[in-house]
Amino acid sequence: MRGLICDDHPLMREALAGAMRDRWLDVSLAEAGDYPSAWTAAEAQPDFCLVDLSMPGAGPVEGVTELRARAPEAVILVVTGLEDEALLAAVAACGVTGVYSKNAQPSLLLDAIGAAVPGLRALEAKRLPPRQGQVLEALADGLTNKEIAARLGISPATVKIHVARLTRWLDAVNRTDAVMRAKRARII
pLDDT at site 72? 95
Q: CA angle, corner 40, sides to 86 and 18, nearest 5? A: 80
Residue-averaged pLDDT of the chain:
90
Q: What is the pLDDT of residue 171?
A: 77
* pLDDT above 90: residue 62: yes
Question: CB within 8 A of 32, min separation 6: which ones?
Answer: 4, 5, 6, 38, 40, 41
**In this predicted model, what pLDDT tens digit does every residue of 10-22 receive, in sequence order?**
999 999 998 898 7
Q: Report how far apart, in Å, the C-alpha atoms of 164 and of each of 66, 140, 159, 180 are.
A: 44, 15, 9, 15
Give the predicted TM-score (pTM) of the model.
0.66
What contacts 24+ positions apart, CB below 8 Å, involve 84-88?
87/53, 87/60, 87/61
How long is the chain? 188
Domain spans in the chain, listed from the N-terminal domain onward: 2-124, 130-184
**Enclosing H/E stretch for 86:** helix 85-92
Task: Flag the least confident range among 50-64, 76-90, 122-136, 166-180.
Answer: 122-136
C-alpha to C-alpha distance for 53 and 131, rounded to whole angstroms = 45
What's the first-to-final CA gap in the chain, in angstroms?
A: 23
Q: Is the dihedral of CA 25, 114, 93, 85 positive or negative?
A: negative
Q: What is the pLDDT of residues 27-36, one digit of tens each?
A: 899 999 999 9
* 48: phi then psi, degrees, rounded to nearest 5: -150, 155
Phi-psi region of 30 (alpha: psi -120 to 50; beta: other; left: phi over 0): beta
Q: Architecture of domain 2-124 in CATH?
A: 3-Layer(aba) Sandwich (3.40)
User: 95 in helix, strand or coil?
Assistant: coil
Query: In the sheet where 28-32 sits, what is the strand order?
Result: 28-32, 2-6, 48-51, 75-80, 98-101
pLDDT score of 129 more than 90: no
pLDDT at 172: 85
More reliable by pLDDT, 1 or 124: 1
Q: Is the model's pLDDT at 48 over the cut of 60? A: yes
- Residue range 39-59: average pLDDT? 96
Tell me the CATH architecture of domain 130-184.
Orthogonal Bundle (1.10)
Two domains, one topology: 2-124 and 130-184: no
The pairing of beta strand 2-6 with beta strand 98-101: unpaired
Does position 23 have pLDDT exceeding 70, yes or no? yes
